[in-house]
Structure 1
Amino acid sequence: MVLQSWSKANSNNSWGQNIQQSWVTSILAFGMISGLPPVVMWFSITLAHFDSDFSQTWATWHLERAKAFINHYLPRPSSKALNLYLAWVLFQAILYTFLPGYGTGQLTPAGNLLSYNINGLLAWQLTIALAICAMITGYIHPTIIAENWEGLLISANIYEYLLSAVTGFEELDEVFRP
């Protein structure tokens, strides 16, 4: 009985999509995309400059005013960190493309069997193994992430905003396409 009602409710052409999304959901999603990077920056500043003391960070924010605080403490991008981040993203894209791991999902109500590339665990294991080998051989210094943390944080946030913008524009294109 439950299965029959589920199949009737989900037998339309939009199976797997939430076509009746509320504005609250959109606002919350936008809030997460736009609000979490500044929160991460705040935590990074607190850890790096104020020995993890949030009250001292807040007091300094009020003492120096926002603009001076941001100019003084905000992490700075660097070309080395950007190149490291881009190399890592490219390496992960190569792993995603060439590592085996194809699987299929369940049948859709229309009878289609969707295929997926589910090689994430293998890519993670290979990434860790290659990183350990590179550190043992001296090709990569073990503290490379810590030494470039501020620039990597900025690079990751720029990538996140660009990726969000691209996917958002693609979604708008789908919505407004005749």
Structure 2
Amino acid sequence: MNSTEATRRRTQPSTNGKSSGKAEEPGQWGRAWEVDWFSLMGVISLLCFAPFIVFYFIMACDQYQCSVTEPFLDLVSGEATLSSIFERSPSFTWSAAKIYAIWVSFQVFLYMCIPDFLHMIIPGYVGGVRDGARTPAGLINKYEINGLQCWVITHALWFANAHYFHWFSPTIIIDNWIPLLWCTNILGYTVSTFAFIKAYLFPTNAEDCKFTGNIFYNYMMGIEFNPRIGKWFDFKLFSTVDRELWPGLSLTCPTWPSSRNSTDTLPTP
């Protein structure tokens, strides 16, 4: 990383104006350096059960009129089995995977290729190229803050499609909701695995990595402080601005009632 991308920490001056000759000792920054059994069991539980908890609630809405307890009671009484419930639920489809791949690729394009111009128009809005916080290794990364602009462009195109272009149905997300749920989980685990391997093989900055010695905790909590690809693609910035499905979902939810079938269940692809 060169000087145009980050600024390294300099030696702090002493109170008499002279530079201190002692090197700064690394602080115990961020999350745990050592993992206890309680944290480990929590991490393993989240990795194993979190996607299925989401599926359970969606399945409850789809098959049990949003009753959270009825599926469990049916399983206990023997009126239903896990396989019978799973068979009645929409599964992964390649059409949903195609929709999701196009959506994420479009958001990556907006994030990487269109510099922010809204900060030139909206008074007080802080966008464009900005410095991030100083990392534990003393780096200050540059960020292209254009999330609001991506949101505006996405919604403008969505409205234009719904009213003029008609490239796809405005209810495309809710029509493929459960298959898209599987796609989001697949992508989440794929990106997490890539970031985990990247931290070992080619970290953005080795000094900003934290290894606990526990593979499950490292996988769940992350190793790199700011994992990046290239100069500008920052995993944290891209992932935490809700680019995935919510802009389209916020527009398709009002049309959900009109897309539901006569049995009042979620429409399937």
Fold similarity call, TM over 0.5: yes
Cα drift, residue 113 of structure 1: 3.2
Deviations for 1:79-123, whole angstroms, at most 9, x for unmatched residues?
Answer: 211100000010011111112232112456776432112211211
For structure 1, the residue ranges without an aligned partner over 5 or more in a row are 5-10
Question: Structure 1: how far apart are the matches of 2:161 and 2:68?
Answer: 37
Cα distance between partner residues in 1 of 2:146 and 2:179: 29
Which residue number corresponds to residue 109 of structure 2?
A: 94
- Aligned match of 2:245: none
Task: Give runs of aligned pairs for residues 3-42 of structure 1, distance below 5 A.
Answer: 11-13=24-26, 18=31, 20-23=33-36, 24-25=38-39, 27-42=41-56
Matched-pair contact (CA < 8 Å) for 2:27–2:136: no
Segment drifting more, 47-56 vs 101-110: 101-110
Higher helix content, 1 or 2: 1
One-letter amino acid matched to 1:50: Y
Q: Which amino acid aligns with 1:48?
A: D
Uncovered stretches (5+) of structure 2, i.e. residues with no partner: 1-13, 15-23, 116-127, 204-210, 214-269
Please give the per-residue CA displacement for 1:41-83, whole angstroms capped at 9, x wherever unaligned. Answer: 001101111110122222233322323332x234311121110
CA separation in 1, counterparts of 2:134 and 2:186? 37
Q: In structure 1, what is the Cα distance between the partners aligned to 2:74 and 2:135?
A: 56
Whether contact under 8 Å (1:105, 1:116) holds in the other structure is: yes
Listed as ranges, the matches of 1:49-60 within 5 Å are: 49-60=63-74
Which of 93, 115, 124 aligns to 1:78? It is: 93
SS in 2 for 1:115: strand
Structure 1 residues 156-175: Cα deviation after superposition (integer angstroms, max 9, x where no partner) = 11111111222222334466
Identify the match of residue 152 of structure 1 among 180, 185, 188: 180
Work out the CA distance in 2 between the residues paired with 1:42 and 1:144: 22
Q: Note the aligned Cα RMSD (angstroms).
A: 2.8
Report the CA distance shift for 1:38/1:125 in structure 2 as closer, same or farther (over 3 A). Answer: same
Residue type at the aligned position of 1:121: L
Of 142, 148, 151, which residue of structure 2 is paired with 1:124?
151
In the alignment, structure 1 residue 169 sits paired with structure 2 residue 234: no
Amino acid at match of 1:89: V
Q: Tell me how far apart the structure 1 counterparts of residues 197 and 139 of structure 2 sit (CA, whole Å).
A: 28
Which deviates more, 120-129 or 78-87?
120-129
* Structure 2 counterpart SS, 1:80: helix
Q: Structure 1 runs of 4+ off > 3 angstroms?
A: 11-19, 23-31, 106-113, 171-176
- Tell me which residue corresponds to 2:82: 66
Residue type at the aligned position of 2:167: Y
SS of 1:142's equivalent in the other structure is: coil
Counterpart of 1:44 in 2: which secondary structure? Answer: helix
